[in-house]
Chain A
Amino acid sequence: MNFFLETLIGGLLAGTMYSLVAIGFVLIYKASGVFNFAQGAMLLFSALTFVSLHEQGVPFALALLLTLLVMIIGALLIERLVLRPLVNRSQITLFMATLGLSFIIEGLAQGLMGAQVRALDLGIEDIPLFVGEVMISQFDLIAAAVAAVLVALLALLFNRTRIGIALRAVADDTRAALSIGINLNRIWQIVWAVAGMVGLVAGLLWGARQGVQFSLSLVVLKALPVLIIGGFTSIGGAIVGGLIVGAAENLAEAYIGPLIGGGITPWFAYFLALVFLYIRPAGLFGDRAIERV
């Protein structure tokens, strides 16, 4: 029983890390209907920037602030140079643009700051914590707490502020939003900046866990099954999807793994996503069109 609990809790906590990545996608997808392939590159870029600054002796808080600033400026540039010229184009055009963008950002990141693996120490000691008999990773616990705070802040932004209502209005009906004077360019700038901030948080946590290097940008691929399970349009869905993927991976590795020789973690999430595509293609919390019957 303890083993089961340990596996489950470990999986859930690891899952919040997936959720963090997925939330970045949901933000941009909701506001502009674009699957932002460059989210992983943004994550890598932010983590690399932070590490580079920190290595130069910039104190933690200042480095964090400067990185945040870089991500916001990046978002403004992306909106101005990539999105605005492509306004009113089809979704696939925009998707291809973000694909190209991801290569540019990755190249820029490695060109400017080097391609070697860098260690990122957030000062969180990974000493296992015991709750009763159950062992919990302290790092995972803190990561989960950070994710929870971030989500709470986003929920406040979306539901309690004018910007949040405008963001949701644009997500619902771009044309109507335009007709009542909502400035789409401004909205896109805000959304990309917020997605950049989420990418920064995710990048730091992932970077601290597996080192800051090129492969960090590949966590995008882990976000895909999370999005398919949770739904592309719901932040809540991204969280639940992440938890499901994390827990399922861990449990499958522990219980099914020994039967077929292990190595389940890399593919189990995709298998799960495939099952969901069959039974619930919009995901658990994805928006189905509201229609009054």
Chain B
Amino acid sequence: MNTITRPVVEPAELLAVEDIEVVYDGAILAVVGVSLRIEEGGIVALLGANGAGKSTTLKAISGLVQADRARVTRGQIRFRGQDTAGVAANVLARQGIVHVLEGRHVFAHLTIEENLRSGGFLRNPSRRELEQDLERIYAWFPRLKTKRKTQAGLTSGGEQQMLAIGRALMTRPSLVLLDEPSMGLAPIIVEEIFDIVAQLNAQEGVSFLVAEQNINVALRHASYAYILENGRVVGEGAASELAAREDIQHFYLGGKAD
């Protein structure tokens, strides 16, 4: 009798960060040893207090560190197995990594619709494809459609966050880096945004790496999480396990994770 042994299917690695160090202006050390891994279709949270190195880690992955006069001085970042060292942010966006910056950064003087369109340009789509993509985003964020002709700078914080995510989705990414999406928003709006993120993940297979200070919300929606402190990963684990640990809650209030 033969038993067919099925190989254990390891989920495919989408992104791997290996022990990176990031230095600003050639002198200021922001990240000293961060390693993390995102699987195809995963939602991973990056937790930590202000200044822990979350944003810098995201910028290192998206290539935007270069625009901040910073450099990855050690370690390696691989996206789909390819080393991304020295690849410009706009090229990485084309390859599928899109970064939703902390504080939204919508184009304030452009209308909501122009903001969204701008996200589609990199693929050089036909007019019809672009319209279809727009409708797809409006289906996810109906609220944006009602304000399509409004200047983005005049919309509410929640709408701007949705717009920033929608604009990023227009690039048809495989990995979205979401930096502090809950910042300055009412809890009910935060919940709405995270719900949409979870659905996008489930239905369209988009992977997310979410940097958050709001640990509870993040752990509820992520499957795996890393905890950053002083530029280092000091803990990691499945989101459900971390959520149950008391020291995590303690750490959130400014204590030490041990």
Give A residues with C-beta under 8 Å from B. Answer: 88, 162, 165-166, 168-169, 171-184, 287, 289-292
A172 touches which of B66, B107, B164, B167 (Cβ 8 Å) = B107
| Inter-chain contacts of B168 with A (CB < 8 A) | 179-180
| Inter-chain contacts of B62 with A (CB < 8 A) | 179
Bound-state CA distance A173–B108 (Å) is 8
Bound-state CA distance A183–B94 (Å) is 10
Other 16 A-B pairs with CB < 8 A, given A179-B101, A180-B93: A162-B117, A166-B118, A169-B114, A172-B110, A173-B105, A175-B101, A176-B101, A177-B118, A179-B100, A180-B167, A181-B93, A181-B94, A287-B109, A290-B108, A290-B154, A292-B156
Residue of A nearest to B100 (CB): A179
Cβ-based interface call for B6 (8 A): no
Residue of A nearest to B70 (CB): A88
| Inter-chain contacts of B155 with A (CB < 8 A) | 292
Beta-carbon contact of A166 and B109 below 8 Å: no
| Inter-chain contacts of A184 with B (CB < 8 A) | 90
Bound-state CA distance A205–B141 (Å) is 51
Bound-state CA distance A169–B113 (Å) is 12
> B-side binding surface: helix, strand, loop or mixed?
helix
A181 touches which of B69, B100, B108, B122 (Cβ 8 Å) = B122
Cβ-based interface call for B209 (8 A): no
Bound-state CA distance A184–B94 (Å) is 14
Bound-state CA distance A166–B114 (Å) is 9
Beta-carbon contact of A88 and B69 below 8 Å: yes
Beta-carbon contact of A88 and B67 below 8 Å: yes
CB within 8 Å for A178 and B67 given contacts A287-B109, A291-B153:
yes
| Inter-chain contacts of B170 with A (CB < 8 A) | 180
| Inter-chain contacts of A171 with B (CB < 8 A) | 109
Bound-state CA distance A264–B18 (Å) is 69
Give how many B residues have a beta carbon under 8 Å from the other chain's beta carbons: 39
Q: Give 9 pairs: A residue, B residue, CB < 8 Å, sorted on A.
A: A88-B68, A162-B121, A166-B118, A171-B109, A173-B108, A175-B67, A178-B64, A183-B90, A291-B153
Beta-carbon contact of B122 and A180 below 8 Å: yes
Beta-carbon contact of B156 and A180 below 8 Å: no
Kindly identify, within residues 33 to 67 of chain B, every residue whose CB is under 8 Å from any CB belonging to chain A: 62, 64, 66-67
| Inter-chain contacts of A177 with B (CB < 8 A) | 107, 118
| Inter-chain contacts of A165 with B (CB < 8 A) | 110, 114, 117-118, 121
Bound-state CA distance A179–B164 (Å) is 11
Cβ-based interface call for B232 (8 A): no
Residue of B nearest to A287 (CB): B109
Bound-state CA distance A171–B170 (Å) is 20
CB within 8 Å for A174 and B118 given contacts A180-B168, A292-B156:
no
Residue of B nearest to A182 (CB): B90
Bound-state CA distance A75–B72 (Å) is 32
Beta-carbon contact of A182 and B109 below 8 Å: no
